[in-house]
Amino acid sequence: MSDRQTSVFAFLPFRLDPAQRSLSREGQPVTLTPKEFDTLLVLLEAGGRVVDKEELIARVWPDSYVGDGSLARNISVLRKALGEEVIETHRGRGYRIALPVVLMDSMPTASTHQQDQPQTDVPVPSVETVGQTGWWRGKVGLACAALVILVLAFAASRFFAVNSAKAHMSASGMPIRSIMILKDGAIDPRDEGFKLARPDGNYPHALYNREADGWDRWRIETNDQNFYVRALSAEEKDFALHRDWKLTCICALEMGGGFADVDFAGKGPRFDIELLQEGNRYFVALTKQISPKIELDEKIEFPGVADVAHPHTYELRYDHASGTASLWIDGKLMASGYRGHHQFQEDLGVMFGVAIYGSAAKSSIAFRQVRFEAN
């Protein structure tokens, strides 16, 4: 057997056994899906180095093509299971395990050991020899095990203490190290942690992309307004507003008006990316006021808003030092100094959807990806 099959990874208070495909915390099992388990195993095998996203995807999904969204979901689940601070994000590169990891030999049982050994005639040592040898080996073994446990416990306690002082604490008492909220491809947003604001409509959700040979977009339409939401806790809001964050929407408007927003109700403003149709013209806008009349901080004409086959990328990049966000389209800076607004703040957190705009009888939009991230 290989070392991977016969050894276990100890990263206090956790223990992962590759042979048994098991993860435990202080002896209590932690449930993971096979792909989540494989993602954690690759990170542990890296021995503390940063593992590139491409390497992770290639090893966890060796026979499939998946996007960054699948990996991001696995990392998000692992952070919930292990603690936000255990897996570090290295922007533009990948991820690493932040806790000290020790590779330990798993102990075979006596019966298994005896069955694996050939039967040979060997001299039987005296009782005195057996007693002395067993005593010595037992003492050395116990001392080594105790030393390993002490080193791991000290390193883990220092890690949690330092990071607890630096990071905001989540509702569960664990420090927040990063936030990643993701809607990706044609997966139902409700399977990705979002809720639908209103009862569902009778229309096809998933859109097929013939060029990519897959279902890669999710449509939502309404004759009023409808949207998906994922709330932010008070701790997540505090964390994000003290960091630089980014809201990304890869989407295309079919008609009417669509949006991707992040609402910091109770802690800060609401920031909106608006996609708007006016006759045969299409715009990207930043909202300044909604009622009694819509007022826009910026309104930029961009025909690509309606390119459903090839959705463009719209981003709000927030600078916490100035408290303002900038608008980027396909990686190009289009507007800056946006401070958001405080109207219709319902503490909904991250949201995306459609609403009636102008003379359109209904609104429809296709989302390839919506992502909110803060590190």
| DSSP string for 124-181 | PPPHHHHHHHHHHHHHHHHHHHHHHHHHHHHHHHHHHHHHHHHSEE-TTSPEE--EEE
* CA distance linking residue 308 with residue 55, whole number of Å: 31
Rounded to whole angstroms, the Cα distance separating 288 from 298 reads: 8
Quick one: pLDDT at residue 175? 74
Copy the structure tokens of residue 167: 């990071």
Quote the pLDDT of residue 199: 83
Amino acid at 45: E
Task: For helices 53-60 and 68-82, give the axis angle rounded to 10 degrees.
Answer: 90
Q: How many CB atoms lie within 10 A of CB 280?
A: 7
Residue 79 and residue 72 in contact, taking contact as beta carbons nearer than 8 Å = no
Q: Which two tokens stand for residue 210?
A: 């013939």
CA-CA distance, 356 to 199, in Å (whole number)?
A: 17
pLDDT, residue 7, reads: 84
Tell me the C-alpha distance between 96 and 42, whole Å. 10
Residues forming CATH 2.60.120.200 domain(s) in the chain: 178-374
CATH architecture of 3-103+165-173: Orthogonal Bundle (1.10)
User: Tell me, what DSSP letter sits at residue 191?
Assistant: G
The pTM score is 0.60
- Give the CATH fold of the 178-374 domain: Jelly Rolls (2.60.120)
Query: What is residue 136's predicted lDDT score, i.e. its pLDDT?
Result: 42
Taking only the tens of pLDDT, the chain with its 375 residues reads 344 456 899 998 899 999 999 999 988 999 999 999 999 999 999 988 899 988 998 899 887 666 677 888 899 889 888 988 899 888 778 899 988 888 887 654 443 344 444 444 434 433 333 334 444 445 445 555 555 555 555 555 555 444 443 445 555 456 788 898 999 999 889 888 899 998 876 667 999 988 888 889 999 999 999 999 999 999 999 999 999 999 999 999 999 999 999 999 999 999 999 999 999 999 999 999 999 989 999 999 999 999 998 999 999 999 999 999 999 999 999 999 999 999 999 999 999 999 999 888 999 999 999 999 998
Residue range(s) of every CATH 1.10.10.10 domain in the chain:
3-103+165-173
